[in-house]
Amino acid sequence: MVRSYPALAFALVAVLTGCPKGGGDAASDAAAISVADAGTDVTAGEAVEDDEIRAVYPADAGPPDPLVRKLCGALHELPEQRRSACCAASPSVVLTGECTRTLTAALGWSAVTLAATDVDACEQAMQKAFEGCEWIGPFAPEVPAACLGIVKGQIKSGKRCRSSLECAADMRCHGVGPTTTGRCAPPKASGEKCGGTADTLAGYARQNDLDARHPECKGWCERTKCADIVPAGGPCSLGAACGAGHLCVAGKCAAAVPAKIGEACPGDACEKGAQCIQGKCVPRKPAGAACASDFECLGGCLKGDAGGKGTCGKKCSAR
């Protein structure tokens, strides 16, 4: 199970902070997607389409919302602060500012809601997940479940959106991109086009289960078209084809759950804290344990210059 810190947001920064065509300022950016125009059918939080090419979230969203700043700090700054303290190194670049900017805008437009109790729970879970130094290595801990699904969408079906997080219930913001608004709608039926979009707010807010909470397809996205879920016993090459609660095992979909420590792991799926190695789920090893690869350790596998067997420990050289 890969636990690496999501890096896709870095590739979007240049696009997201770009200026509108014609040299418009931040105020005009906000005005272009405001909902204050009387006499229209635009509802609160809905994006308004225009002919300008600009990021869907303005470069200046105004003063940071304190609650948003707290959440984004926990998601981005806390892990890097812990790593830099453990490794006696300067903190690397974090995306707290981008997270705060985009989520402040969405919250200010009433496109989403965010509860203080949820943010507190997320912060506490992040502190626990990143405590100590033993986790330092190429596979950072995953974002805790307490941090997922806490940005609640308020935009109704058929209305314009800038992120699937802005859509109510399980609806998706179909057609959205870094510079293109979409429309909230239910998941697509089989045969409809899918894929090829980027959700900037979800990336910056580290909502890694976006596809589960706001699915693009009723079934799953097979290359560029929605397809039906393969029934149990049917042929498969990817677990996604089998749907929730099922795995692709030996080329066929089968009802299964992640295997426990010590059990065989068909489909390479193990419970949290374990890794499927040589067909069996084994716990990740603590510092000082013998290892042959990073996958075996809570942190990383520290090898001597001669290679071969190593020892588990914090591996500041890997991210």
pLDDT greater than 80 at residue 163: yes
CA angle 148, 122, 60 (to 5 degrees): 80
Whole-number pLDDT of residue 272:
83
Whole-number pLDDT of residue 43:
63
Whole-number pLDDT of residue 8:
41
In a shared domain, residues 33 and 178: yes
In a shared domain, residues 200 and 239: no
In a shared domain, residues 88 and 174: yes
In a shared domain, residues 148 and 64: yes
* Residue 222 belongs to some domain of the structure: no
Q: What is the dihedral of CA 261, 265, 267, 273, to 10 degrees?
A: 20
Residues linked to residue 276 through DSSP beta bridges, in sequence order = 281
* Residue 224 belongs to some domain of the structure: no
Domain that holds residue 31: 8-213
pLDDT greater than 50 at residue 23: no
In a shared domain, residues 188 and 261: no
Identify the CA nearest to 169 among candidates 179, 161, 181. 161
d(CA 182, CA 158): 9
User: Half-sphere exposure of residue 105, counting CA atoms within 13 Å on the CB side?
Assistant: 30
Q: How confident is the model at residue 267 (pLDDT cuts 50, 70, 90)?
A: confident
Q: CA 44 → CA 47, 79, 106, 159, distances in Å?
A: 9, 35, 11, 10
In a shared domain, residues 56 and 128: yes
Identify the CA nearest to 135 among candidates 314, 318, 319, 317. 314
Q: Which residues contact 213 (CB under 8 A, 6 or more apart)?
A: 148, 149, 170, 207
In a shared domain, residues 181 and 40: yes
Better-predicted residue by pLDDT, 38 or 186: 186
Whole-number pLDDT of residue 227:
98
* Residue 288 belongs to some domain of the structure: no
* Residue 63 belongs to some domain of the structure: yes
Whole-number pLDDT of residue 306:
58
pLDDT greater than 70 at residue 1: no
Token pair, residue 190, equals 């089989």
pLDDT greater than 80 at residue 299: yes
Average pLDDT for 59-86: 97
Q: Identify the domain boundary among 174, 189, 213.
A: 213
CA angle 103, 92, 147 (to 5 degrees): 40
Whole-number pLDDT of residue 259:
87
d(CA 258, CA 280): 11
In a shared domain, residues 201 and 238: no
DSSP 6-38: P-GGGGGHHHHTPPPTT---HHHHHHHT-S--T
pLDDT greater than 50 at residue 57: yes
Average pLDDT for 148-172: 98
pLDDT greater than 60 at residue 279: yes
Output the average pLDDT for the chain. Answer: 85
If one counts the domains in the chain, the total is 2
* Residue 13 belongs to some domain of the structure: yes
pLDDT greater than 60 at residue 300: yes
Q: What is the dihedral of CA 294, 295, 296, 300, to 10 degrees?
A: 30
Whole-number pLDDT of residue 124:
98
Kindly report which listed range (127-136, 231-240, 268-277, 300-309) carries the lowest average pLDDT score: 300-309
In a shared domain, residues 54 and 81: yes
Whole-number pLDDT of residue 184:
98
* Residue 1 belongs to some domain of the structure: no
In a shared domain, residues 157 and 262: no
Question: Running DSSP on this structure, what letter comes out for residue 254?
Answer: E
CB-CB contact of 137 with 297 (8 Å): yes
In a shared domain, residues 142 and 275: no
Q: Which residues contact 243 (CB under 8 A, 6 or more apart)?
A: 219, 220, 229, 230, 253
In a shared domain, residues 233 and 175: no
Q: State the pTM of this model.
A: 0.83
